[in-house]
Amino acid sequence: MSTLEYKLTKTTETVFTAEFHSLDGNGLEKAKKYADRFQGWFDGVNATDNTAAHAHASNVATAIAIKQLGLEPILQIVCRDKNRLAQQADIMGASMFGVENFVALTGDDVTAGDEPEARRVFDTDGPQLVRLMSTIKRGEYMSGRKIDPAPHMFIGAVENPGAPPFEYRVQRVAKKYAAGAKFLQLQICYHQDRLEKFCAGVRDAGLAGKIAIIPSVVLVKGARPLNFMHNSIPGIDVPADQIARVEKATDPAEEAYLQTLEFAQHALAQPGVRGLHITDFRNDETLERLMTDLGRVRQISTSEATTNDVKDDHAYSA
């Protein structure tokens, strides 16, 4: 059983997950640097699958690297690039290396990336992919062909509480739960009222305690990335007052940090919320600061700590 599954199903502990950086060149060396930074803070780290429709080192290879570097991978699989055969191959290939956490998502469209001329696949959709994962977990391929022994899997999905149609998002959670999802990583949402309604909706649908909700926060350095997300990422709306708050501050970086901390604390206080997912665009010591401010104690041995100088990260900050 993975640590993530153990904590979410056998304890009441709050879990923390993070988005692993995409790898383009210098793969393993970079992976090691990123992993060192995350070491001891997280219960699971997402190996992303061509984020924002840009090609990178593959999700499966990244998940294996994460595992070999001593962190627990969560394998993301999106529906945009792979048909159902390739998706099943991803799952089986990753399981071969002991990957146990899986998360299914629809994925951004090819037009969001730098190769908009590519063919979009979407042979399955998010909820169908959850059920496909459950099928493998039961010990069968989609065709019914047996898998013996069946891989051990902890299955999750993604939902966006901040995009319309709001009430319908909760019904989709119920659908994904019925298909076998046990945890739900949420897309970043800058509207606290929407997150509140979403979590209350999941609770009122009788799903609290059945599917663990893990909202997201993003660490940014100033107003620019907020504007970028607002203008360029469909499904993310950042209210003008939240942008202005950072833009007009005397110390925008500090204000951006405080904003993230506030959103993190607010998210953790919602019903059914079992953890937090962190995307760290800052690459500086605020990751450590955020975790500490949220009451997390780094689980790390002294030998590891000497090689993990997080202050050294400016060298590869974006």
Which residues of this chain interact with another protein, rule CB under 8 A?
A: 79-80, 84, 105-109, 111-112, 120, 122-128, 131-132, 134-135, 137-145, 150, 158-160, 163-165, 168, 171-172, 174-175, 177-180, 187, 234-235, 237
* Min dist. Cβ of residue 282 to another protein (A): 23
Neighbours of 247 (CB within 10 A): 16
70 vs 116, beta carbon nearer another protein: 116
63 vs 158, beta carbon nearer another protein: 158
Query: What spatial distance separates the first Cα and last Cα of the chain, rounded to whole Å?
Result: 35
* Min dist. Cβ of residue 134 to another protein (A): 5
* Min dist. Cβ of residue 63 to another protein (A): 22
140 vs 247, beta carbon nearer another protein: 140
55 vs 163, beta carbon nearer another protein: 163
* Min dist. Cβ of residue 48 to another protein (A): 15
- Omega of the bond prior to 164 within 30 degrees of 0, cis? no
Q: Nearest to residue 277, comparing CAs of 64, 2, 4?
A: 4
* Min dist. Cβ of residue 76 to another protein (A): 13
Q: What is the arrangement of strands in the sheet containing 216-219, beginning at the earlier edge strand?
A: 212-214, 183-186, 154-159, 101-105, 73-78, 44-47, 15-19, 275-280, 216-219
Structure tokens, 253: 């970086």
Q: Name 95's Cβ contacts closer than 8 Å, sequence gap at least 6.
A: 151, 152, 153
The residue ranges of DSSP E strands in 79-225, in sequence order, are 101-105, 154-159, 183-186, 212-214, 216-219
48 vs 135, beta carbon nearer another protein: 135
